[in-house]
């Protein structure tokens, strides 16, 4: 076993939340929020997220939306509201 706990010849690459956000094309708070919800990433004392692996990025990617906000409201954008019945 190697010094950092790895077995085998492959190396693990770690990403900061800023680098992960650039790769996922979203904001760093989005990465932190999704990582916390899904329980991925490397955390230190105080539950602070310090690093993500490539596998963590793959787990986060399906949960990143194209735009911010409620997906239901975004889907209904441009549709006219039905008038209320009297």
**Which of 46, 72, 42 lies closest to 57 in space, CA to CA?**
42
Domain count, the chain: 1
- What is the extent of the structural domain holding 45? 14-70
Q: What does the pLDDT read at residue 81? A: 66
Instruction: Give the separation between CA 70 and CA 55, rounded to whole angstroms.
Output: 27
pLDDT higher for 78 or 30? 30
- On whether residue 80 sits in a domain, the answer given is no
How many Å apart are CA 41 and CA 52, to the nearest integer?
5
Residue-level pLDDT at 74: 67
Question: What CATH number is attached to the domain comprising 52?
Answer: 1.10.1660
Instruction: State residue 36's pLDDT score.
Output: 92
Instruction: For 23-60, write each residue's pLDDT tens digit.
Output: 999 999 999 999 999 999 999 999 899 999 999 999 99
Is a pLDDT exceeding 70 seen at residue 4? no
**Residue 5 covered by a domain:** no
- The Cα angle at residue 49 between residues 27 and 56, in degrees rounded to 5: 75
Which of 43, 45, 56, 52 shows the shortest CA–CA distance to 17?
52
Question: Does pTM surpass 0.75?
Answer: no
Q: Is residue 79 part of a domain?
A: no
Q: Which two tokens stand for residue 69?
A: 């906000």
């Amino acid at each position: 076993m190697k010094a950092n706990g790895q077995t085998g010849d492959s190396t693990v690459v770690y990403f900061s939340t800023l680098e992960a956000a650039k790769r996922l094309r979203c904001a760093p708070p989005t990465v932190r929020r999704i990582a916390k919800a899904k329980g991925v990433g490397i955390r230190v004392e105080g539950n602070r997220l310090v690093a993500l692996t490539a596998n963590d990025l793959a787990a986060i990617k399906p949960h990143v939306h194209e735009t911010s906000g409620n997906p239901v409201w975004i889907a209904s954008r441009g549709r006219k509201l039905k008038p209320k019945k009297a």
